[in-house]
Amino acid sequence: MPREGAMRVAARVFATDKMFATMGKDRTFGQLRNVASLPGIVGNACLMPDGHEGYGFPIGGVAAFDPEQGGVVSPGGVGYDINCGVRLISTQLTSSEVRAKMRQLVDLLFKNVPSGVGSKGKLRVNERELDEALTRGIDWAIDSGYGTRQDKERTEEGGRMEGADPSAVTDKAKKRGLPQFGTVGAGNHFVEIQDVQEIMLPDVAEKFGVKKGNAVVMLHCGSRGFGHQVCDDSLRDMLAASRKYNIPLPDPELCCAPINSPEAEKYLKGMRCAVNYAFCNRHIMMHWVRETFDEVFGKGTSEQMPLVYDVCHNIAKFEEHTVDGQRKKVCVHRKGATRAFAAGRIEVPAIYRDIGQPVIIPGSMGTSSYLLVGKQGAMENTFGSSCHGAGRAMSRSRAVHTWKGNAIAGELASRGILVKSTESELLAEEAPGAYKDVDEVVLSVKAAGISDIVAKLLPMGVVKG
């Protein structure tokens, strides 16, 4: 989309014709153009193939801002569920071994990893411990007996974002976050047991530790009520900052502040706390998943369940990228988009640096999920970013009026997929038909050279909020 009107840069949509056609039915393209009009944006405003309307930024939006050109930080470019992300765990168990005990496994996961709206974890922390977790990320979790140092090496940012400051977070956010460590939550979050159905890049899959015919476990969750409150608290400050710094807003939901301003610095400190909260959340959940597999398949099973990788979806961070032929440090906003760094980037763990970063793309409980790998095209065109999932095709309220949860569970069971949730209505909200075609989404990023397909994963058992 060429520059027009108030746009400071062009906008680019990465999608096949089929996916592109689904995006013009709401405000998605208008929101993308609005993002392209923000101060200090460089390169292009980008939209991934799973893109759809969101708060301020479209879901699937990627934008980079240069501090030296008046670049801004916008909470709408990160979203409410800060560091919503995905973690993939491999196993040495065959899919047939796991299917044979699926009912027991799903029931125990449902019990051991709390889920649901407002769910409370079985881990009790006080405010001092919470502050430590917000500052140290999964270093705190590991020192508290959860997971291993190898897990840390296979987590984006090493599971700890520097610069987090709990004093930048309100008491209300901390109160919401205290009881929710180690919980799935509701919505599109899940614990899913999957079958590695197909391998497309055998050498890369071997390096990632994923084998055809084996079972893997995928976790999808974020910073829960804590991150939501951090975002909500920041919006009032950012609206005032937009007026203070005379920033013209095409939409109040794009409220923002200059990167080096006190308002932006405060938001980033709080956002990083929520990022670290989410890392701890997924890390603790993974620990309980491993314990569950030990209970079902015998002690020692968990020792053969390494983390493949943990990726963030909703985040803003400073990275070096080439912009107009020059190497620059820019603030990259990824909202419903995944980092997809290519081989050679120092941020990629040493074990993967010669092949590129794992990129994990969840489906929608009845469809395929995918393991991808970052490619050079992402570094050149999307600030090292790719899609993050299937992307919604309809609202949750419309989905509830279209499907019945019990019918969804029955239909999935007929296909050999066992699903358990706290409420049947949640299954209707997350019906596979409420999402875009994840196969086409993944084909889009492959065709664009942003990331390549390593493995196709099919659901066998799902624990939903």
Has residue 325 got a pLDDT over 60? yes
Please spell the DSSP secondary structure of 77-118, one letter per residue. Answer: GT-SSTT-EEEEEEEEEEHHHHHTTHHHHHHHHHHHS--STT
Give the model's pLDDT for residue 431: 85
More confident residue, 186 or 88: 88
Alpha-carbon span 457 to 195, nearest angstrom: 5
Give the model's pLDDT for residue 50: 94
Has residue 185 got a pLDDT over 80? no
What is the pTM (predicted TM-score) of this model? 0.95
Identify the bridge partners of residue 462 per DSSP, sorted by sequence position.
Answer: 192, 419
Has residue 237 got a pLDDT over 70? yes
Per-residue pLDDT, averaged over 228-257, amounts to 97
Give the model's pLDDT for residue 291: 95
Per-residue pLDDT, averaged over 221-241, amounts to 96
Alpha-carbon span 280 to 134, nearest angstrom: 9
Give the model's pLDDT for residue 261: 98
Q: Which of 26-40, 225-239, 423-437 has the lowest mean pLDDT?
A: 423-437
Q: Two tokens at 77?
A: 């470019």
Binned at pLDDT 50, 70 and 90, residue 181 comes out as: confident
Has residue 118 got a pLDDT over 70? no
Tens of pLDDT along 347-384? Answer: 999 999 999 999 999 998 889 999 999 999 999 999 99
Report the first-to-last Cα separation within the chain, whole angstroms. Answer: 38
Alpha-carbon span 399 to 401, nearest angstrom: 5
Give Cα 28 to chain centroid, integer Å: 19
Cβ atoms of residues 267 and 260 within 8 Å: no
Domains belonging to the chain, first-starting first, are 11-464 (3.90.1860.10)
Alpha-carbon span 291 to 231, nearest angstrom: 33
Q: Residue 404's closest CA among 427, 422, 436, 420?
A: 427
> CA distances (Å), 78 to each of 61, 167, 176, 404, 427, in order?
9, 20, 20, 32, 26
More confident residue, 432 or 29: 29
Has residue 192 got a pLDDT over 70? yes
> CA distances (Å), 81 to each of 75, 220, 242, 314, in order?
11, 12, 22, 7
Has residue 172 got a pLDDT over 90? yes
Ramachandran region, residue 195 (left: φ > 0; alpha: ψ -120 to 50; beta: rest): beta
Burial of residue 151 (number of CB atoms within 10 Å: 0-12, 13-18, 19+)? buried
Mean of the per-residue pLDDT values of the chain:
94
Give the model's pLDDT for residue 143: 95
Give the model's pLDDT for residue 182: 80
Q: What angle do CA 321, 48, 412 make, to 5 degrees?
A: 135
Report percent pLDDT > 90 for the chain: 82
Per-residue pLDDT, averaged over 53-69, amounts to 96
Give the model's pLDDT for residue 184: 81
Has residue 217 got a pLDDT over 60? yes
Has residue 119 got a pLDDT over 80? no
More confident residue, 266 or 23: 266
Binned at pLDDT 50, 70 and 90, residue 304 comes out as: very high
Binned at pLDDT 50, 70 and 90, residue 444 comes out as: very high
Report percent pLDDT > 70 for the chain: 98
Binned at pLDDT 50, 70 and 90, residue 137 comes out as: very high
Alpha-carbon span 154 to 131, nearest angstrom: 24
Cβ atoms of residues 253 and 55 within 8 Å: yes
Helix/strand/coil percentages in the chain, nearest 5:
40, 25, 35
Tens of pLDDT along 68-115? Answer: 999 999 999 999 999 999 999 999 999 999 999 999 999 999 998 876
Q: Two tokens at 435?
A: 């999402």
DSSP reduced 3-state for 373: strand
Active site residues: 388
What is the β-pairing status of strands 11-13 and 41-52? parallel
Per-residue pLDDT, averaged over 445-458, amounts to 97
Q: Residue 292's closest CA among 111, 87, 413?
A: 111
Cβ atoms of residues 446 and 452 within 8 Å: yes
